[in-house]
Amino acid sequence: MDILTDQSFFRAFHILFGIAWIGLLYYFNFIQGEYVKVADPDAKADVFKKLAPNALWWFRWAALFTFLTGVILLHQISVRIGTEIILGATMGTLMMLNVWGIIWRNQKIVLGMKEGDAAVAGAKAALASRTNTLFSVPMLMYMVYSVHGGGVDISTNAVLIGLVIIFAIEANAIWGKMLSAIASVRGVITSSFVLAVVLKVITDLI
């Protein structure tokens, strides 16, 4: 068996890396971030010095290897790529780019590893992280759906409408501000499920 064409091999590692990535994404948004808001100064400093750098190392590399194994899988199943995979892969790709291009670059400033305005950098990293959390449920829905019973048809209108919504959200992550709908843990969880429903309706009915 040629390992480079073995879907089960790369799918297993894609899922493994994805679990690590999304698990850490939820940890940062639901646990560490909320703890840092109320932690004593000494405890907060300890998190920034010892915990966060280690967690971010695993986070960013899990994101990259999830993406790379996903690219290989897309190549292997190229004849079965439909609307759902296009939208899911788009969100996954933007999420990975957010990790390396926004979150990690700004977290280095927050953690004192690089010069810059920590307050501004922290806000940018938080917005990108919340955006990734917003994307996570519909992205996972499409990735699972596409493997277990998803169609391979491509609806041009559904793809275009879905991409407009996705890139509008991403534009806010890059140039916009933290919206009230995703500012709280409860808000971003709710918004992520709402986005999943909206995109599912679009891909099913258009």
Looking at residue 154, its pLDDT comes to: 86
Note the helical H segments in the chain.
Answer: 7-26, 33-38, 41-46, 52-76, 83-98, 104-110, 118-147, 156-175, 180-183, 185-205
Q: What pLDDT is recorded for position 91? A: 98
Instruction: Please state, in angstroms and rounded to a whole number, the distance separating the CA atoms of residues 169 and 138.
Output: 13
pLDDT at 206: 85
**Model's pTM, two decimal places?**
0.93
Question: How confident is the prediction along the chain (206 residues), in pLDDT tens digits per residue?
Answer: 555 566 788 889 999 999 999 999 999 999 999 999 999 999 999 999 999 999 999 999 999 999 999 999 888 877 678 899 999 999 999 999 999 999 999 999 999 999 999 999 999 999 999 999 999 999 999 987 666 555 567 889 999 999 999 999 999 999 999 999 999 999 999 999 999 999 999 998 98
Place of tokens 């940018």: 124
What pLDDT does residue 45 have?
94
State the helix-helix crossing angle for 118-147 and 7-26, rounded to 10 degrees.
140
The reported pLDDT for the residue numbered 42 is 96
AA identity, residue 50: K
**Residue 119: predicted pLDDT:** 96
**CA nearest neighbour of 17 among 75, 68, 53, 56:** 68
User: What are the boundaries of each domain within the chain?
Assistant: 3-205
At residue 147, the pLDDT reads 62
- The structure tokens listed for 180 are 């009230």
Q: What is the pLDDT of residue 150?
A: 55
